[in-house]
Structure 1
Amino acid sequence: MEKSRSRSVFIDIGFRELNGFRVKKRPFFSDSELICNEIAGVSVEHDGFRTPPLAVSFCKSSRNSQLFAVSDEDGYVSLFNSNKKFASSATHQENTENARFRDWVAHDNAVFDVSWIKGDSFLLTASGDQTIKVWDVEENKCTGVLIGHTGTVKSMCSHPTNSDLLVSGSRDGCFALWDLRCKSSSHKEEFCIISTDMVKGAHLSPLSKRIRRRKAASSSITSVLYLKDEITIATAGAPDSALKFWDTRKLKVPIAQASPQSDPTNTKEKRAHGIVSLSQDSSGTFLTASCKDNSIYLYNMLQLDKGPVQSFSGCRIDSFFVRTMISPDAEYILSGSSDGNAYIWQVNKPQEDPIIVKGHDYEVTAVDWSPTDIGKIATASDDFTVRLWNIENNRCSNANTTASACRVKRRVTALSNTEAKERLEMNKEPESPNKHSSDADKSLPIIRTPETQKNKTSLLSSLPSSSSSEEDKTCERTPETAFNSPSSVLNPPSSVKRRTIRDYFLVTP
């Protein structure tokens, strides 16, 4: 268990290089203009009554990536197939009948968050009835109810590699840890699950002593994340603009804190705006925090002490329902907005005007990226619709650029931890001299894991001896250091910090 935990960060770094992904030299798309086309829009309604959608989430596995779930204010969960053929003249209601293949009442209250787990065979739903339910999608039945919160459950996130573990945040000011294998009692074939740990008052307002307890906004937790190091949890709340990071093995106090302000406790220096939502890329290196000051802040997990490395503006965040999502490959940031549009920024060009996605009539709340279909996004709005969009380069319309588009897709599509691990394991096998003769293979850089570094192939013999010896030391030190410090995502050794930030992630606009 400890071995996989220590290697997770370095596997993610490896598969980025395996895909030939280097931000400075190989951007997400070329500098030509990006176009966002609407694929279709579906209406969120049941028995003829429309209701506002609150959350949208694509399936995580590649075989089901065309499917997405939508939860709404009436407690329903609906499943849609985005690969259906949509007629350009069809209405939203007709598209719903065409694409929706299942819906059911998940809770007797609004469902604020949904999350796919266990290979998309199960779905988690967080509700205003203060519970989280586990749904077997194939059997269409509830298999567990998580009880313990005393307020609306606003956010939840499952463990990066173990879907039985998750964290949730609530308006009661608490975040809780859960283990789905720990069932305490059963009622009507539904197993009740008690939290394994809970932290109360994680984000208290500096004025909380003067505010009545019934005002949940004074301590509400708005978003939680289980970080990719498999140990650290990030939380954000409505009272302040501080991000807090917690070690799951010792939850008494946060192990780190970050804020756009130099001193988040000094309310006289700057008004403390609440954080609305958090998101992270597939490697866990970058984290976004959308704030009520109408800004989206980007944090590098290796440089938390320096505060946000970039900020993005242009959208309006007037409510705690507007969400932001960073793309799996950390190249784009997608956000809803209270002005009825969605906005997309390119991470390495924060000063440029964002792409404005127009089409909705009211506030755009939940958004999501397809994990495998490059450029496909979903936006939910208070106009009772969820719309699908396709982001593409304006050069892609030219038939002569098909091969180029394929190369872009190959290096941009984010791999899961499991797929990346398999790719790295395959790289350890002996290779014949002719294996790298094709043009396609030449375009892929060579991955040097700690094991293969000891047994260098002939392809590495041409490298200068000084650089090889330096990289040998780096590769030999890195796994051992990470093993001794499981929280290495937040406090990495200096050698990892220099190489990772300089060569892979930090982008100067």
Structure 2
Amino acid sequence: MLDSPEAPRCDILFDTTNVRENLHLHASQLPTPATPLNDGKPKRRISQSDETPTKKPRLADAESSNDVFDVVVKKRSCRRTVFRTLGLTSNGYPTEHRVLLPSRNILQSFVSSHTSDVFKCHSRTVDSFVTPPYACAYSNEAKRGGIPLLAVATEQGSVNILDTTKRTEWDCEPARVTLEPHDNGIFDVKWNADDTLLATASGDKSTRISSVETQQLTSILDGHASTVKCVAWDPAHRDLLTTGGRDGMLCVYDLRVNNLSDQDEIPARSAVITITAAHGQDKISGGRQKIRPLPRGITNILYPDDRPHGLVSSGSFDGILHYWDLRLPSDKSSKRSPKKPSYHPLFSSTMDPTTFHGARCRGITSISQGSGPSAGLLFALGADSRLYIYSYPTLTPLRTETHPNLQTNSFYVRLATSPCGRWLASGSTSRAGSLFLFDVSNAGRIAPSYGRRADEPISQTVRFRGQSGEIGAVDWASDMIASCADDGTVRIWRPDLERYQTCISNPEEQKWEWFWST
């Protein structure tokens, strides 16, 4: 059950005055940098229903062990340029072997091989060879630099666990594990804290818990009246998790209690806390026939790192975020169920940033929290093709970013922050299959701006094209990122400056073997 609420540097490596800027990277792989501390050490850190949406694929026509520091280099013209210094111990070089790389070039160095970095989601049926992936999630161990296991959930209700360890060209794909917890599309998948369980949210109105070791179902979580869109594990309690649905409900489950039927082989559990219409209801206007207002759907939820009992949620109607303390029910009980406690947001966003550009309010498709240099920030992807940045814990909108080619007019598109907290990845509904990477390492040090001048540059953004159709699901491991597309493929992107330079110097030849940023 829930706990009771409690009472209310930059190291100097060497003289960098005469360091040249045109240094090259002498490594085949550039790991994602960890966040530096003041002491210079890395921080640790389908029963098908009529209401269930079916997403149709739209195909096109055709924390790391390496030391990382920011070094300021003084140039003759008195300008100062920031370089990133990397210790490449993981690549086999001695710790004293270091290279300097401009920070802006790190995002551009991601490449993906056509042979060893592509995985296909095989279909269950004989009428098609592949099936579109809807969601993906790297294990917690992968985000800490361990074996990069990636769980990919598909339209047909299966989950493929892929080992995305870098391999040489034409090597066989490592054996994958396939789970089949649902017979309907899976819209979210999450690993628990020790990577032994997977929670899957599906269009069959249920969330199911599967054991990774035994590959069997362990629990079925009921309670939603519509598609379950998102799920999140409580980081402070291994048996607690929360789901959000298209029905506007937030449901909290405790895997230790509420077994609805002791006779069932697979335990079915009900929610210990249910919050209905968590983001309000749609207003009905006009007409003589009275229509019951529909609740606004929940699109994403997350547990902030510093407040294990808190929960942040986003909705499909507007850009307002809610913060919930699940230990503190309201003093007022619900009108329909006087005996049940009622829950209200502890606080919410004071304004809707999606209306700042003169348009009507638009929903949020995905939210992600920052860490390291972006700690204290929440990033949200709007259905209006804009990236919104909120402060935490006040949930105050700070600024917005976008890209001319970014399209997110779909609630299937997701957002993910890198483990180091410096970069942000976003999918896109563009038919060209575009993946976007944003540099958010300075997002917390930039003043709020909503009506930015037309000539004011946005933060560094890189675009990747290597798949067909919409790219919806994305996630990071310690030194790679995965993108899932409607063409039934999962592509892994890895930083490799040497290979990137080869690609741009000879694009006609290299395009048959690699994809890279444009």
TM value normalised by structure 2: 0.65
**Equivalent position of 1:389 in the other structure:** 493
Cα shift readout 1:54-75 (whole Å, capped 9, x = no counterpart):
0111111247531111110101
1:222 maps to which of 299, 309, 313: 299
The 5 Å alignment of 1:11-410 reads 18-19=41-42, 30-33=102-105, 34-39=108-113, 40-47=117-124, 49=128, 50-61=130-141, 62=144, 64-83=146-165, 85=167, 87=169, 98-184=173-259, 185-205=261-281, 207=283, 219-228=296-305, 229-251=307-329, 252-258=343-349, 261=352, 270-282=359-371, 285-302=376-393, 304-305=395-396, 307-314=397-404, 315-339=406-430, 340-348=433-441, 351-370=458-477, 373-374=478-479, 376-393=480-497
Check the 8 A contact 2:282/2:293 in 1, yes or no: no
CA distance in 1, matches of 2:224, 2:70: 42
CA distance in 2, matches of 1:22, 1:309: 27
Cα shift readout 1:227-267 (whole Å, capped 9, x = no counterpart):
221121111111111111111122422122126636x8x99
Evaluate the alpha carbon distance shift between residue 107 and residue 84 of structure 1 in structure 2; reply closer, same or farther with a 3 A threshold.
Answer: same
CA distance in 2, matches of 1:113, 1:129: 13
Check the 8 A contact 1:73/1:110 in 2, yes or no: yes
* Structure 2 counterpart of 1:301, one-letter code: Y
* Structure 1 counterpart of 2:229, one-letter code: K
SS class of match (1:333): strand
Question: Superposition RMSD on alpha carbons, in Å?
Answer: 3.6
CA distance in 1, matches of 2:225, 2:70: 44
Check the 8 A contact 2:230/2:300 in 1, yes or no: yes
**Equivalent position of 2:14 in the other structure:** none
Give the structure with the higher percent helix: 1
Evaluate the alpha carbon distance shift between residue 114 and residue 209 of structure 1 in structure 2; reply closer, same or farther with a 3 A threshold.
Answer: farther
* Structure 1 counterpart of 2:138, one-letter code: F
Sequence identity of aligned pairs in percent? 26
CA distance in 1, matches of 2:402, 2:368: 14
Evaluate the alpha carbon distance shift between residue 194 and residue 86 of structure 1 in structure 2; reply closer, same or farther with a 3 A threshold.
Answer: farther
Check the 8 A contact 2:35/2:420 in 1, yes or no: no
TM value normalised by structure 1: 0.66
Q: Displacement of 1:308 after TM fit?
A: 2.4
Evaluate the alpha carbon distance shift between residue 207 and residue 131 of structure 1 in structure 2; reply closer, same or farther with a 3 A threshold.
Answer: same
Q: Displacement of 1:31 after TM fit?
A: 3.1
Cα shift readout 1:180-210 (whole Å, capped 9, x = no counterpart):
1114233542111111111111113553567
The 5 Å alignment of 1:406-417 reads none
Q: Which runs of 5+ in 1 are unaligned?
A: 7-11, 399-509
SS class of match (1:190): coil
Check the 8 A contact 2:111/2:499 in 1, yes or no: no
SS class of match (1:99): coil
Evaluate the alpha carbon distance shift between residue 23 and residue 235 of structure 1 in structure 2; reply closer, same or farther with a 3 A threshold.
Answer: farther
**Equivalent position of 1:438 in the other structure:** none
Q: Displacement of 1:178 after TM fit?
A: 1.3
Cα shift readout 1:39-96 (whole Å, capped 9, x = no counterpart):
41111113553211001111112475311111101011111111263535x8xxxx6x
Evaluate the alpha carbon distance shift between residue 186 and residue 244 of structure 1 in structure 2; reply closer, same or farther with a 3 A threshold.
Answer: same
* Structure 2 counterpart of 1:30, one-letter code: P
> Is the deviation greater in 218-227 or in 135-144?
218-227
Cα shift readout 1:105-126 (whole Å, capped 9, x = no counterpart):
2101111111111411111111
Q: Displacement of 1:213 after TM fit?
A: 6.9
The number of aligned residues is 379
Q: Which runs of 5+ in 2 are unaligned?
A: 8-33, 44-67, 73-81, 85-100, 330-342, 444-457, 503-518
CA distance in 2, matches of 1:106, 1:141: 8
Check the 8 A contact 1:274/1:292 in 2, yes or no: yes
Q: Displacement of 1:163 after TM fit?
A: 2.1
CA distance in 1, matches of 2:180, 2:498: 42
Point out 4+ residue stretches in structure 1 off by more than 4 angstroms.
Answer: 1-6, 12-18, 20-29, 208-216, 266-270, 392-398
CA distance in 2, matches of 1:85, 1:13: 27
Q: Displacement of 1:164 after TM fit?
A: 1.1
Q: Displacement of 1:270 after TM fit?
A: 4.2
